[in-house]
Structure 1
Amino acid sequence: MTDFNVPVSEGTRVFLNFSVSLEDGSEVDTNFGADPVDFAIGDGSLLPGFERRIFGMLAGDRQMFEVPPEDAFGQPNENNVQRVPLEQFDEDIELEIGLVFSFADAAGGELPGMIISFDDEEVTIDFNHPLAGRTILFDVLIHRVEPAELH
Structure 2
Amino acid sequence: MSKAVIDPHSEVVMHFTLKLADGSVAETTKLNQQPAKLVMGDGSLTPAFEQCLLGMSAGEQKAFELKPEDAFGLSNPDLIHHVERSKFPADLAPEEGAIMTFSQPNGAELPGIIRAVAGESITVDFNHPLAGQTITFDVEVITVAQPEAKS
TM-score, structure 2 length as denominator? Answer: 0.88
Aligned equivalent of 1:16, options 6, 11, 14: 14
Identity of aligned residues (%): 39
Task: Name the residue aligned to 1:129.
Answer: 128
Aligned pair count reads: 148
Q: Deviations over 1:9-61 (max 9, x none)?
A: 12210111111111211111111261422111111222222111110111111
Please report the RMSD computed on the Cα atoms of aligned residues, expressed in angstroms.
1.8
Change (3 A) 1:106 1:42: farther
1:69 aligns to 2:68 (yes or no): yes
Give the distance between the partners of 1:107 and 1:13, measured in 2 at CA. 34
1:7 aligns to 2:32 (yes or no): no
Q: How does 1:1-150 map to 2 (within 5 A)?
A: 5-32=3-30, 34-149=33-148
**More displaced stretch, 125-134 vs 114-123:** 114-123
TM-score, structure 1 length as denominator? Answer: 0.88
Q: Deviations over 1:79-135 (max 9, x none)?
A: 011111221111111121112110123543221111122333322111111111110
Change (3 A) 1:4 1:149: farther
Give the distance between the partners of 2:91 and 2:35, measured in 1 at CA. 42
Decide whether the 8 Å contact of 1:4 with 1:145 is kept in 2.
no
**Gapped regions of structure 2 (runs ≥ 5):** none
Change (3 A) 1:4 1:136: same
Runs of 4+ in 1 over 6 A off after TM superposition: none
Secondary structure of the structure 1 residue equivalent to 2:49: helix
Letter in 1 for 2:9: G
Secondary structure of the structure 1 residue equivalent to 2:148: helix
Secondary structure of the structure 2 residue equivalent to 1:103: strand
